A = this chain, B = another copy of it.
Amino acid sequence: MDLLNTYLIYLIPVFGLVGIVVMAIKSAWVTKQETGDASMNQLAGYIADGAMAFLRAEWKILSYFVVVAGILLAWSGTTVGDKSSPVIVISFVIGAFLSAFAGYLGMRIATKSNVRTTQAAKTSLAQALKVSFTGGTVMGLGVAGLAIIGLGSLFIVFYTMYVTSKGENVNGEAMAKALDVLAGFSLGAESIALFARVGGGIYTKAADVGADLVGKVEAGIPEDDVRNPATIADNVGDNVGDVAGMGADLFGSYVATMLATMVLGREIVSHDNFGGIAPVLLPMVIAGLGLIFSIVGASLVKIKKETDSVQAALNLGNWASIILTAIATYFLVQWMLPADSFHMVRDEDASGAIKAGSLVFTKNGVFGSILVGLVVGTLMSIITEYYTAMGKRPVMSIIRQSATGHATNIIGGLAVGMESTVLPIIVLAAGIYGSYFFAGLYGVAIAAAGMMATTAMQLAIDAFGPIADNAGGIAEMSRLPEEVRGRTDNLDAVGNTTAATGKGFAIASAALTSLALFAAFVGVAGIEHIDIYKANVLAGLFVGGMIPFIFSALCISAVGRAAMAMVEEVRRQFREIPGIMEYKARPEYEKCVEISTKASIREMVAPGLIALITPIVIGFLFGPEVLGGLLAGVTVSGVLMGIFQSNAGGAWDNAKKSFEKGVEINGEIYYKKSEPHKASVTGDTVGDPFKDTSGPSMNILIKLMSIVSLVIAPHLNTADATNKMMQKQEKVQSMNVHQIHADKKI
């Protein structure tokens, strides 16, 4: 047991390695599956090529960004001297590289699994599920595995370099420096994630909206029709946005959550058997266990008969991994954490005694916080599903309001989206309150870590959706028999539900992660309060609250512009290439792919820079407390706008889908092509950028701004501009005191 205590730290990357090995085996299995006929292979080839073309274009821009940001980081590390280190650059570059690599792995397997799923759907639903879900699992394990290997190994390196090799105190400055350098890894990962999410989001919706507006509405051809020049771009978009974007998002959350918990754990005085760093190691070990149990859970996802429920199979796997991880975590906490209580170093006075009113907590408190995190994640998913599911009140209300036209459909969806913020916010507020109650700010962070533990499983379920969607697209484009399409449709419908719940999970994780980072930031910046009763902090809160609005505006209008360019290109091809409509001429798919690629790369820059630069400017100009106000504003407003937009979009989407089977409004049944259906298509189109571009981007926005703040925190002078206002006033005061004395003399 003593041996395990000593070597636990080295075991962490091993967990990640196990994930990668399993991933490789599953990936090989998928590759071995049949790929179908030549037509299917050709279409799949177009999609894979388009996806790679986007990745290459994105990487080109991002490599410039990484170089510039790296130089700036190195420079700031050198100039500020002993508080930071140019070593952070290495950690930043590795984070950026692994994030991009995880995206690549996911995209590669997704573009392989799609056509193989179509082929498998020719034999049975069970086999189609197996192929598509295995594809998703590869993505999930890749993301989680790479994250744990990267973070775990770098921690070993920096911990040895700064702390153990010099015999430094694990609660002291040296450890703080090690973790500050490690934060570069998270910064790298989250920066790439932002561009992947925003770029991917713009790509997929420009293609989708463009394809729909001309194809479905003007030309009257079905979705995924091989005659539509934008259809390949649309299918590429599913991979670019829903696979690579979502993967990068969760990679970022996963890493940031662990990091924030470690930063807060550093400050805990712990008399444990791990050299006093059990609270620091705990989040990584939990993640490692979660990865192992995700593999177990994924192995349970299977069906036998055509009539078996796919959703039930996914739920079984999901719940198994969550419950097993929760049980294992209980024993882990009991084993790793000591029997006596914890408190933060900063809660000790000079003599080492605990200050009055300070927070003290126990290992059972820590486990309580982890449970709170699991409950919050689950409730958020359930609420999201309620607000976006077919047949439930919110979607039904939008359907009813489609009867009076486009405008009332839009009003209905906006109202549903706004209303849908209520329960998630109450759950989140209760979660903050509860996890803090159990274990202080460390509790808030570890709650997020608990929630994120089964990220591999969550992501497997998420990535399964677009794979199934693509498989259906290939079936439709290859005009395969009804039966095959029926099976892929079944998987796709389940994928739509998992997409909605996945978004609930992603936003909950982003919110808790940001709060954890926020707490870590305050500790690292060395400030005591963030007092919104101060005018400058309140001003920061306002400016922060505004950022998600301008960020959303930029994302939405980018999609609008790119979609219009797409519409014009598709119209041109229909006009200038004769024979497309009779299947005699092949549309120039690559032109549409190029439009989406170029637009997304170009348009992702402005929002990305806002997220990166704002905290730096505010932090250095106005000091850490105002930056804290800004972060709080961004987080609150970002979570609200994220939930509002994602849920409104999801509800509009399913209101439209409800018309496929026919819906009853005031005693009449309406189907596709009816006037209310047309109104519902308008809502769905408005909802597209809401739910797949701006809404999910909020997650990364709030995380990235927090992580940037955490990285710059040690460089911020607490006695700078924040207090200049006060200092100026003090001068006025002493001047006035002289004045008063002068007056009295007269």
Which residues of chain A have a CB within 8 Å of any CB of chain B?
Answer: 209, 213, 217, 339-341, 343, 354, 356-362, 397, 401, 404-408, 410-412, 414-419, 421-422, 425-426, 428-430, 432-433, 435-437, 441, 444, 515, 519, 522, 529-533, 535-536, 538-543, 545-546, 549-550, 552-554, 556-557, 559-560, 563-564, 567, 628-629, 632-633, 636-637, 639-640, 644, 681-683, 685-686, 689, 725-726, 728-730, 732-733, 736-737, 739-740, 743
Contacts and interface: CB of A to CB of B under 8 A. Distances in A.
A418 B553 contact: yes
Given A425-B543, A432-B535, 7 more contacts: A358-B729, A362-B732, A428-B539, A432-B539, A538-B632, A541-B636, A542-B636
B404 A567 contact: yes
Which of A406, A421, A515, A559 counts the most chain B CB atoms within 10 A? Answer: A406
A341 B410 contact: no
B736 A341 contact: yes
B729 A414 contact: no
Contact of A341 (B417, B444, B567, B739): B739
A639 B542 contact: yes
7 contacts: A341-B733, A341-B740, A412-B557, A415-B557, A429-B542, A432-B542, A545-B636
Contacts of A550: 418-419, 421-422
- Copies of this chain held together in the complex: 2
Contact of A360 (B341, B541, B732): B732
Contacts of A563: 404, 408
Contact of A531 (B401, B411, B435, B531): B531
Nearest to A421: B549
A343 B734 CA distance: 12
Majority SS at the chain A contact face: helix
A25 to B, nearest CB: 43
B736 A556 contact: no
A640 B637 contact: yes
B560 A412 contact: yes
A726 B340 contact: no
Contact of A421 (B407, B546, B557, B726): B546
Contact of A552 (B418, B545, B564, B637): B418
Contacts of A426: 543, 546
A683 to B, nearest CB: 8
A497 to B, nearest CB: 23
A360 B404 CA distance: 61
Nearest to A361: B732
Contacts of A435: 535
Nearest to A422: B550
Nearest to A727: B357
Nearest to A733: B360
Contacts of A415: 552-553, 556-557, 560
B408 A560 contact: yes
A731 B111 CA distance: 58
Contact of A340 (B433, B542, B736): B736
A545 B629 CA distance: 14
B546 A425 contact: yes
A217 B406 CA distance: 12
Given A359-B729, A421-B549, A640-B549, A429 B560 contact: no
A261 B539 CA distance: 19
B419 A553 contact: yes
A542 B428 contact: yes
Contacts of A689: 411
B340 A739 contact: yes
A743 B729 CA distance: 53
Which of A401, A535, A682 counts the most chain B CB atoms within 10 A? Answer: A535
A556 B436 CA distance: 36
Contacts of A633: 636
Given A340-B739, A425-B545, A532-B629, A559 B411 contact: yes
A457 B356 CA distance: 56
A554 B422 CA distance: 12
A93 to B, nearest CB: 32
A432 B540 CA distance: 10
Contacts of A567: 404
Contacts of A549: 418-419, 421-422, 640, 644
Contact of A533 (B418, B433, B522, B728): B522
Contacts of A417: 553
Contacts of A515: 538
Given A725-B437, A733-B341, A533 B530 contact: yes
Contacts of A557: 397, 411-412, 415, 419
A549 to B, nearest CB: 4
A408 B340 CA distance: 61
A405 B682 contact: yes
A360 B522 CA distance: 29
Contact of A405 (B213, B343, B404, B736): B213
B553 A743 contact: no
Contacts of A686: 407, 410-411, 414
B412 A410 contact: no
Contact of A628 (B406, B437, B532): B532
A358 B733 contact: yes
A340 B740 CA distance: 6
A430 to B, nearest CB: 7
Nearest to A214: B404
B640 A545 contact: yes
